[in-house]
Amino acid sequence: MRRSSHTVPEKPLELNRSVISTQPTMSDSKLNIVILAAGKGTRMNSALPKVLHALAGKPLLRHVIDCAKQLDPAKIIVVYGHGGDAVPRNLAGQPVLCVQQAEQLGTGHAVQQAIPHLDLDATTLILLGDVPLISAQSCRRLLQQANDGFALLTVVKADPTGYGRIVRNATGEVQAIVEHKDATEQQRQIKEVNTGIMAIANAHLSLWLKQLKNDNSQREYYLTDIVGMAVQQGVRVAAVQAEDESEVSGVNAKQDLAGLERVYQMRYATRLMHAGVTLLDPFRIDVRGELTVGRDVEIDVGCVFIGKVVVGDNVRIGAYCVIQEAEIGAGSTIAPFTHIEKAKIAVDCRIGPYARLRPGTELADSAHVGNFVELKNAQVGTGSKINHLSYVGDATVGKQVNIGAGTITCNYDGVNKSRTVIGDRAFIGSDTQLIAPVTVGADATIGAGSTITKDAPANELTLSRSRQTSIAGWKRPQKKCDV
């Protein structure tokens, strides 16, 4: 839904043929989709184009495109304007055509930019790049009513201020859409408003767009004026009311964005609970991607899931964990304040609290990673334990290994990274530094406080310590007094 606030000089409707194709492959369907994404978003107070601001970790525009894809259209055309090529760059690889609206002269002018790329025998569905929660179901309902050539998606709002009113005649037929600034006091009492989402046969659309004028208070070419043209020509304008106001709510300011974020997250939380997940507080979870869950999963408060995350049966996730692009096997427990990124965790593992698993980490069954332990590109075998205050990076850890507190794999020499290999059932004493590349053999024991620079043999004790010495008469330095 658009609320125009700037004034432009009157000038004729012009075509802008600047087109960027990010991926031209299309289907054979007779549906075209035009997404209007040219607005600056002044009230966002940001250099970033409004449609690229993120909701649930994904740009607003991407949400709309994902909805459009579900409808199997022949073409998806994105009309962009403010922000230069930021929008086309963000959509690289998406099945869309990006068409520039160099001057923002209204919604009618924006759709006009797409006309040269539409199929004459198709129907065009017009969506808005800043209305991210629109559903494919509502779009299908709208398209079913567009058989006669024209259908609008409307919504009833308790406070319709700023929105175009749906004007009907005595029999309930749609006669016009009147913008708020141009409406009479009587028309402003109407609660049913235009969402800006509509479906129109292209044969009508191309003709009506050519007839648009900008004789209104904003000096813009309103797309909504085509409703009056349809009525004059005897084309029925069907109106389909949205079932949920939030799905047609637009983002004009950061407050709107925050409000829709909570709507999105609550919807996702509801779906998770319907799938059997126990959420200790459904108002305090953030899913910024795709979360796939098994049975009897429990998630505590404040957890954030980013990208594609897969969680197996009977997993327990403690409070304030951040989990990104990860797989967590059945029966595993993730204790509070754990960060996991691009890691794979097998069944019955225990992680955290305050652990960090970085990309490339893989834990086998029943592995334990405890508090303040960081792993990076490390493979940890079945039943192995790294429970306290350790860094294990670029390492292969065998089965049933015990790594003591304060152990570090020194994997970087300032230029190259090297690997540490620890054999099955090895015991690494506390405060050990393993200087890679180095191998610790199976069943080896490393004495606490050792710095290991050479391979440690299997089945033997290896340690590196100087003899303990006490210096008689030594005194601790004293602080000098100021004179």
Structure tokens at 148: 């006669």
Q: Where are the alpha helices (DSSP H) in 73-135?
A: 86-90, 107-112
Asked whether 266 and 284 are in contact (CB, 8 A), the reply is no
Is residue 115 pLDDT above 80, yes or no? yes
- From CA 307, how far away is CA 295, in angstroms rounded? 21
pTM above 0.95, yes or no: no
From the centroid of its chain, how far is CA 68? 17
Where residue 293 falls (left for φ over 0; alpha for ψ -120 to 50; beta otherwise) is beta
Q: Are 483 and 466 contacting, i.e. CB atoms less than 8 angstroms apart?
A: no
pLDDT at 20: 47
- Residue 319: both structure tokens together: 């409070």
pLDDT digits (tens, 9 = 90+) for 347-360: 999 999 999 999 99
What is d(CA 83, CA 247) in angstroms, rounded to the nearest whole number? 26
Query: For residue 346, what are its two tokens?
Result: 């097998």
Tens of pLDDT along 428-444? 999 999 999 999 999 99
Q: Is the pLDDT of residue 470 over 70?
A: yes
Percentage of the chain with pLDDT > 70? 94
Asked if 347 contacts 312 with a C-beta cutoff of 8 angstroms, the reply is yes
The residues assigned a catalytic role are 388
Tokens of 50: 């409004």
In 348-467, the DSSP E strands lie at 350-351, 356-357, 362-363, 368-371, 374-380, 385-388, 391-397, 402-403, 408-410, 420-422, 427-428, 433-435, 438-440, 445-446, 451-452, 461-462
Domains and CATH numbers, the chain: 19-248 (3.90.550.10), 264-462 (2.160.10.10)
Instruction: Give Cα 248 distance to the centre of its chain.
Output: 19
pLDDT for 289-304, tens place per residue? 999 999 999 999 999 9
